[in-house]
């Protein structure tokens, strides 16, 4: 009997040691190897990307976001686990059960972070999309920025009346149809950028989209299931472009800067008018934000000359939606994501979203 108890105790010690040392070792190994581009490239395109595409196809049989469901279950489990620990301490008046549960919870989070390092963060340490495709992302002049902004404004104004609208002129395309047509968006752009030519997996809407908006996010890629998840509470006119943006992460475009550019370029180049319009609108917002910061007069001039009634309605709907949701929670979430990006050597942090302007101006200015 004593021998059995001793063997059980030894196995328990080894279990606890492994629960902490294995994920910590994986994190240390990642920290040591992440700055080797050739090794990271081999891992990302040889192991990580194929694995996540397989996971994406597996989870695609479910109409809902498995990523969202798993996240809710995990966080709810954390709460239940801690509540039970507190109840045990109160009943038994012993601290050891609480410490064990806290240790188990810590181990779970260590495994989660180790997995994130090797299943997503590694993509931040491979050659950037612009480098892989030979794109120029050098800074642009105000004149160049204004010229491409006007081009996007004119294209958006032409397409705005061609998309479905309700009686009051608001964008009215059925979002389920956009998700169904999403996988075809990358067919044309793959001809120009071969690295984007992969078997598509449909993006999914998020049930807790309103929460995403409160936190200031329009979507999220979940590497553990390979799913591109989209906030469908946000203004519908930009959901098609967001679908394309999140699907770019499935193609190992990690930088938000580049994912914005790739999503916009995919929409503009596709044969679907709704996605084309949404792409031009998304690009126009990025360009106008940049132009307004350096030349408000130029922005007002372009908007006054080019914005159609339909485009103005969508523009105002988008501004009103986000203005109504401004809160400290959005600032906190933004700061946390900014810290996450910078921790993976994305020095621009959350400003990466605005930096896609250089790629838009360079690429569309030359084309």
Where residue 343 falls among pLDDT bands split at 50, 70, 90? low
The verdict on 280 and 362 lying in the same domain is yes
Span 97-105, average pLDDT: 86
253-302 residue pLDDT tens: 999 989 999 999 999 999 999 999 999 999 999 999 999 988 999 999 99
209-218 residue pLDDT tens: 999 999 889 9
Span 74-79, average pLDDT: 95
The verdict on 104 and 44 lying in the same domain is yes
Say what the pLDDT of residue 101 is: 86
What's the number of domains the chain is made of?
A: 2
* Whether the predicted pLDDT of 237 surpasses 60: yes
The verdict on 195 and 114 lying in the same domain is no
Domain boundary among the residues 105, 125, 145 is at 125
The verdict on 187 and 88 lying in the same domain is no
Residues whose CB is less than 8 angstroms from the CB of residue 225 and which lie 6 or more positions away in sequence, other chains included = 55, 56, 59, 66, 67, 70
Span 348-356, average pLDDT: 47
Cα 306 vs. chain centroid, distance in angstroms?
Answer: 31
Say what the pLDDT of residue 92 is: 78
The verdict on 118 and 175 lying in the same domain is no
The verdict on 104 and 139 lying in the same domain is no
**Percent of the chain clearing pLDDT 90 (strictly above):** 73
Mean pLDDT, the chain, as a whole number?
89
Span 94-105, average pLDDT: 84
Domain boundary among the residues 82, 101, 125 is at 125
203 vs 123, 175, 283, CA distance in Å?
20, 12, 20
Cα 62 vs. chain centroid, distance in angstroms?
Answer: 20
The verdict on 299 and 159 lying in the same domain is yes
154-188 residue pLDDT tens: 999 999 999 999 999 999 999 999 999 999 999 99
Say what the pLDDT of residue 2 is: 53
The verdict on 134 and 120 lying in the same domain is no
Where residue 348 falls among pLDDT bands split at 50, 70, 90? very low
The verdict on 222 and 268 lying in the same domain is yes
The verdict on 114 and 148 lying in the same domain is no
The verdict on 114 and 182 lying in the same domain is no
Domain boundary among the residues 97, 125, 153 is at 125
Say what the pLDDT of residue 338 is: 61
Q: Which of 89-103, 114-128, 307-321, 336-350 has the lowest mean pLDDT?
A: 336-350
Number of helices and strands in the chain (H, E):
17, 3
**Cα angle at 354 between 353 and 357, to 5 degrees?**
115
The verdict on 349 and 247 lying in the same domain is yes
Say what the pLDDT of residue 351 is: 35
Q: Which of 27-41, 78-92, 107-121 has the lowest mean pLDDT?
A: 78-92
* Whether the predicted pLDDT of 14 surpasses 80: no
Say what the pLDDT of residue 141 is: 85
* Whether the predicted pLDDT of 353 surpasses 60: no
Say what the pLDDT of residue 142 is: 87
- Domain of residue 188, residue span: 130-366
């Amino acid at each position: 009997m004593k021998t059995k108890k001793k063997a059980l105790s030894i196995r328990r010690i080894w279990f606890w040691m492994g629960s902490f040392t294995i994920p910590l070792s994986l994190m240390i190994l990642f920290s040591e190897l992440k700055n080797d581009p050739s090794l990271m490239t081999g891992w990302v395109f040889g192991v990580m990307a194929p694995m996540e595409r397989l996971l994406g196809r597996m989870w695609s049989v479910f109409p809902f976001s498995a990523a969202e469901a798993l996240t809710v279950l995990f966080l709810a489990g954390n709460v239940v686990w801690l509540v039970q620990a507190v109840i045990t301490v109160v009943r038994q008046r012993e601290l050891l059960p609480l410490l064990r549960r806290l240790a188990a919870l810590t181990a779970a989070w260590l495994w989660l972070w180790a997995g994130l390092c090797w299943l997503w963060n590694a993509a931040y340490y491979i050659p950037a999309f612009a480098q892989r495709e030979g794109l120029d992302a050098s800074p642009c002049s105000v004149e160049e920025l204004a010229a491409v902004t006007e081009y996007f404004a004119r294209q958006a104004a032409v397409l705005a009346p061609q998309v479905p609208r309700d009686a009051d002129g608001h964008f009215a395309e059925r979002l389920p149809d956009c998700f169904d047509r999403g996988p075809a968006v990358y067919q044309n752009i793959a001809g120009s950028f071969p690295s984007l030519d992969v078997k598509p997996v449909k993006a999914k809407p998020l049930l807790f989209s309103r929460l995403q908006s409160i936190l200031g996010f329009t979507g999220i890629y979940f590497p553990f299931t390979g799913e591109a998840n989209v906030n469908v509470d946000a203004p519908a006119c930009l959901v098609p472009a967001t679908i394309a943006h999140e699907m770019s992460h499935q193609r190992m475009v990690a930088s938000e800067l580049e994912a914005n550019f790739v999503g916009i370029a995919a929409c503009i180049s596709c044969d679907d008018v709704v996605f084309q319009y949404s792409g031009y609108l998304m690009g126009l917002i990025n360009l106008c934000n940049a132009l307004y910061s350096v030349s408000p007069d130029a922005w007002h001039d372009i908007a006054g000359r080019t914005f159609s009634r339909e485009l103005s309605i969508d523009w105002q709907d988008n501004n009103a939606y986000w203005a109504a949701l401004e809160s400290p929670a959005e600032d906190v979430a933004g700061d946390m994501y900014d810290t996450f990006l910078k921790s993976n050597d994305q020095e621009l942090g959350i400003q990466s979203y605005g930096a896609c302007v250089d790629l838009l101006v360079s690429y569309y200015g030359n084309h």
